[in-house]
Each structure stands twice: as C-alpha cells, then as structure tokens.
Amino acid sequence: MDSFGAAANSNVPTTAEKGRRLGEHPAPTNPMVSPLLTDLYQFTMAYAYWKAGKHQDRAVFDLYFRKNPFGGEYTVFGGLEECIRLIANFELKEEEISFLRSVMPTCEDGFFDYLRALDCSNVEVYAISEGSTVFPKVPLMRVEGPVAVVQLLETPFLNLVNYASLVTTNAARHRFVAGKSKALLEFGLRRAQGPDGGISASRYCYMGGFDATSNVAAGRFFSIPLRGTHSHAFVSSFMCMDEIMDKALSSHDSSSTCEDFVSVVRCWLYKLQLSDALHGAFGETNQSELAAFTSYALAMPNNFLALVDTYDVMKSGIPNFCAVALALNDLGYKATGIRLDSGDLAYLSIKSRKFFHVIEKEFAVPGFGNLLITASNDLNEETIDALNKQGHEVDAFGIGTYLVTCYSQAALGCVFKLVEINGQPRIKLSEDVSKVTIPCKKRCYRLYGREGYALLDLMTGENEEPPKKGERILCRHPFSESKRAYVVPHRVEELLKCYWPGGSGNKREELPSLKTMRDRCMQHLDQMRPDHMRRLNPTPYKVSVSGNLYDFIHSLWLNEAPIGELQ
C-alpha cells in the first residue's frame, strides 16, 4: 500500500474504531459539511501549532455574537445539532489529506500523519439548548480541546450556527408579529440561496414557530408538516369546462357517486348568481378559472384550497371557488379555503369573509363562513404588522423571500474567540470595546423575576459559587463601571450544558427532536418581557458579569494592554 494508505501508520484508528470511541451519531444533514468546510488559515495555523509542538495545548474557545439582529433585543439559537453531528463524524479521508498535501506542499509528512489520526474524541462542547433565546456576549457554545483540532472547528461551527440562528430569529419575529392564532407557512424554497439555504430555512423556520413548509424534501428529512395548493399556471392552463373528461366523484363516505360533478358546480354557480342575499355581487365569471377549480377539486376533494386572484378576486375567483366548494359540500366534503396572492390583502380578505358568511346563512352550510383565508405575495414582518393595524380576515400567511433570505439583515456575525489556553485566561483587546473578549472559562445563568420573565443573563468564573434563588447578587456590565444592579432572582437557570463530553466523563445531554426545539423556542419567547419583544425601540436585555469576574476582566485588561509613552 502506498504512503497515503491507512496501513502506512499502524496507529491510525479505523473508521469503526472511531465510531466506537465517539459513539454512533448521524452524519451532518448536508454531505458538504466535512473537516474541509473551513478556511485555509485554519489548516495553516494547525500546522504551525504542530510544528511548534503546541497542537495538544488545551484551549477553550467561546462562540458568541456581539449584536442582536433585525434591530431587536433577542436572538434564537440554532445549529447546535449540526455542530454535534460534525464532531461526531470528524475524520479526514485519504482523498482529503491528498488534497491538503497539494495545497500545502511544504508541510512535513508527519503533519499529515497527525491529520490522518485526528478526531474529536478529546473535545468537549458545552452549549445553550438549541431553540433558546440568547443574547450578545453570552457564549452559545464553549468548545474545549487540543488547540489545533478546536481551531479546525471554528469556521464550520460558525457556518452552521450563523445562518441557522439568523433565520430562526427571523421566523420567531414573524411569529410574534402574526400572533399565536395565525398559521405561518414557509414558502421560500424557490427564492432561497441554493439547495442548502432552502433546506436549512425550512428546518429553522419551523423551529422558530412556523407551522408548515412547501418544501417536500424538508418535510421528508425533518418531519415538518407540508402545505401547498396550485399556482396561477394551473388556473390559466384551462380554457373551458369541456376540457374536463372524467367528471365523476365519489361521495366522502364512498356510499354513492356523482357521475357529473361539473353539472353540480354549474348549478351552484347559477344559484349564487340569482341569490338576493349577494345583491348581484358578480356577473359572468371566468370559465377557464371555473374549469381549473373544478378539475382541482376532482383531484383533491379532501384538500380543496384555491388560488383566487388569477383574474379578479371578487368578481370571478371567489364566486367560482364557492360554487365548487358548495358542490363538494353536497358530497360530504369540506373545502379548505382560498389563497390571495395579490392586491389589497386586508380589503380582499374582509370582503371574502363576508361573502362566505352570506353563503353560510343563505344556503345553511355550517362552517362555510370560517373557511381558511391564506395570504401570500412577498409578505414580511412589516406588512403583517401593517395588516394587523388595518384589520383583516387572514388566517394563514405564506411567507417566502423576505423570510428565508433574511432580507433585512444578511448575517448574524457570530465569532469564535480563544478565552483560555492551558488554564491561562486570554483576552483580546480592541479600541472598539464591543470587540473586547470576556476571558476565561465561564458559567452562564439566566435569572428570572417574580413575574416569571427573564431579568438578565449572568456570567461568572467557572469556580465561583452559583447564584441562588432568593439571594442578593451584584450584577455588573462587563465594561461600564457605572452600570450595575443588585438582583434577587426568583428562579435561576444554568445555561451551558454538556452536549459532547470528550474525555471529561460528564453526562451528555441528548439532542431533542425538532418539534421539542420548536416548543422550547415558543416557551422562551413567552418568558421574555413584552418591552424586550416589541418591534420598535425594544428595551435592551441586560447581560452582566459577577463582581469577581468584572474585577478579573479589568485586571487582565490592564496587565495585557501596552503602556504608552509620551515624549
């Protein structure tokens, strides 16, 4: 076997041995996620660490962000499970090592032998639970291990967390503005940034509070409920009712068959045109649209939801839909509702609802007035807020472009910073105080007030006594001397939990289902004070450090900062 083969180094563990050591775990959802999904400088640094004999130095890195997105005061953490999947399957294959040799030709052979044996069995990951609300400066993840391998995790971890957290937060903000009673449907696949952007968006929008997706692949991968009807193309593809060849439809209970469903639809349309209760609200409707609706109902009688704005919503789309829905009702089926994709959504939804209520009363069709009204058409947080202020009758919002592309903010800006090496705290200084790191291995807590809302997040040194319920605690802004307060918490929650124990022997938290993470997200949002959640001018959420950690930060800052000299 040549020098690139596994037999070249008898100490290299086999894949099976690594699996037994690390514990079997599913691979990352996207097969592109591998140790090579990183920046070149991570490998050049790894080589420099190895060359200096420092590659096994024990390092601690914090992954966090500096500012909440979308002008808000909270973020929702996403991407943790994919990070754990990556480290559980971290292994450089021979073809990957060969590629690295080609781009790093001056590196010694021993370095590639080191890479060949590399895994994450000695890495520890402590993280806030995925789906939690999180805040600037507080570590979302603390990653400990040999400095070279942890450095190789930096870029993929940031890649997996940044977009996931951003789009989950965007979805949560849409959920908040829409309210709990409205259905939210993610329709963004066709506008997403590539296949992975589409799949990730569907997953994390669901976690952030959406109810369903149009993305079939995401429905399969993540068991997300699927929703979808037809497009304008389907409506405009029909010319007349004569195109419908198979006109038969069995009743809902299969006890009988209507041989000419088309005639029943026409009969109902005629009744609607003659109805005094509708006051001649419409005349001759578009017959190609009626044919499309009828055909779709024949194909999908249990899920008839029609797109009604291809020609004219109130003069054609709504009456045509109602004629088909009433024909279905005769056979024991219940139509689902309509989708509005253009025009004045508030006005059209109100007019449509009134039309449905008139029909329910006029023709004694229970529940017809409560048919589902779905709105789409490039909706975003602002337009939903505007609809709420105008008043509307929309039951469900289908949202795509602005949601999955995070149109109002391109990136979250998570960073991965060294805070300790071989037990020695490290700090990064900057003239921009927001970029100064908080050194050392830390523990993080969320303190709750008497009303059940979160008051603030508190960071302490690893060996400090944890805050206790009912005890007075001094909480300080990390960098502002005058910003401090005493807090008496009514509940204390420790945030960082062990999700990958490495060689520590700590109990590992199980990764929950996507549905559980969605429920956690909704629960955490309910535990936020309303003034932190509002869209305009939200109250900043406090992130603090203990008095001891504050003193330590500023002592280390003074020790590390160069002393100037004036002449």
3-state secondary structure 188-200: CHHHCCHHHHHHH
Whole-model pTM?
0.93
Is there a domain that residue 566 lies in? Answer: no
Say whether both 357 and 467 belong to one domain.
no
pLDDT at 16: 42
Domain contains 218: no
CB-based contact 292:215 (threshold 8 Å): no
Based on the fold, state whether residues 494 and 435 are members of the same structural domain: yes
Per-residue pLDDT of the chain (567 residues; tens, 9 = 90+): 333 233 334 344 444 444 444 456 899 999 999 999 999 999 999 999 999 999 999 999 999 999 999 999 999 999 999 999 999 999 999 999 999 999 999 999 999 999 999 999 999 999 999 999 999 999 999 999 999 999 999 999 999 999 999 999 999 999 999 999 999 999 999 999 999 999 999 999 999 999 999 999 999 999 999 999 999 999 999 999 999 999 999 999 999 999 999 999 999 999 999 999 998 889 999 999 999 999 999 999 999 999 999 999 999 999 999 999 999 999 999 999 999 999 999 999 999 999 999 999 999 999 999 999 999 999 999 999 999 999 999 999 999 999 999 999 999 999 999 999 999 999 999 888 889 999 999 999 999 999 999 999 999 999 999 999 999 999 999 999 999 999 999 999 999 999 999 999 999 999 999 999 999 999 999 999 999 999 999 999 999 999 999 999 999 999 988 888 888
* 385-395 residues labelled b (16+ CB within 10 A) or e (exposed): bebeeeebbbb
Give the CATH number, domain containing residue 484. 3.20.140.10
The rounded distance, in Å, linking the Cα atoms of 163 and 316 is 42
Helix axes 318-330, 261-274, angle to 10 degrees: 120
Q: Quick check: is 177 in a domain?
A: no
16 Cβ partners below 8 Å, 6+ apart?
Answer: none
Q: Give the count of domains, the chain.
A: 2
Residue type, 330: D
Give how far the C-alpha of residue 346 lies from the chain's centroid of Cα atoms, to the nearest Å: 28
23: phi > 0 → left, psi -120 to 50 → alpha, else beta; which? left
* Confidence (pLDDT) at 508: 96
The pLDDT score that the predictor gives to residue 15 is: 44
Q: Are residues 306 and 273 in the same domain?
A: yes
Token output for 455: 């008051």
By the 8 A CB rule, do 282 and 210 touch? no
- Those residues whose C-beta lies under 8 Å from the C-beta of residue 175, and which sit 6 or more positions away, are 184, 208, 209, 210, 522, 525
Q: Indicate if 118 and 34 belong to the same structural domain.
A: yes
Q: Is residue 447 part of a domain?
A: yes
Contact by Cβ (8 Å): 478, 488: no
Residue 79 lies in a domain: yes
pLDDT computed for residue 563 by the predictor = 86
CB of 134 within 8 A of CB of 43?
A: no
Residues 385 and 251 in one domain: yes
Predicted local distance difference test score (pLDDT) of residue 24: 67
Q: Are residues 379 and 499 in the same domain?
A: no
Q: Which residues contact 508 (CB under 8 A, 6 or more apart)?
A: 498, 499, 500, 501
Exposed, middle or buried by CB within 10 Å (0-12, 13-18, 19+), for 315? middle
Domain that holds residue 39: 6-172+409-560
Measured CA to CA, the distance from residue 427 to residue 117 in angstroms comes to: 31
Residue 368 lies in a domain: yes
Backbone angles phi, psi at 65, to 5 degrees: -130, 165
Residue at a domain's end among 330, 363, 391: 391
10 Å CB burial of residue 289 (0-12, 13-18, 19+) is buried
Alpha carbon of 495 to those of 505, 529, 536: distances in Å?
19, 19, 28
d(C-alpha 119, C-alpha 117), whole Å: 7
> Which own/partner pairs from 534-539 qualify as long-range (CB within 8 Å, at least 24 positions apart)?
535/72, 535/173, 535/177, 535/381, 535/385, 538/72, 538/73, 539/73
Asked if residue 369 is part of any domain, the answer here is yes
Residues 366, 288 share a domain: yes
Same structural domain, 255 and 380: yes
User: Which amino acid appears at position 433 of this protein?
Assistant: V
Assign 386 to helix, strand or coil: helix
Rounded Cα–Cα distance for residues 423 and 418 (Å): 12
Q: 361 and 335 in one domain? A: yes
The conformation of residue 433, written as its DSSP 8-state character, comes to: G
Same domain (yes/no): 381, 457? no
Q: What is the CATH number of the domain that holds 300?
A: 3.20.20.70
Secondary structure in 3-state letters for 251-320: CCCCCCEECCHHHHHHHHHHHHHHCCCCCCCCCCCCHHHHHHHHHHHHHCCCCCEEECCCCCHHHHHHHH
Domain membership flag for residue 214? no
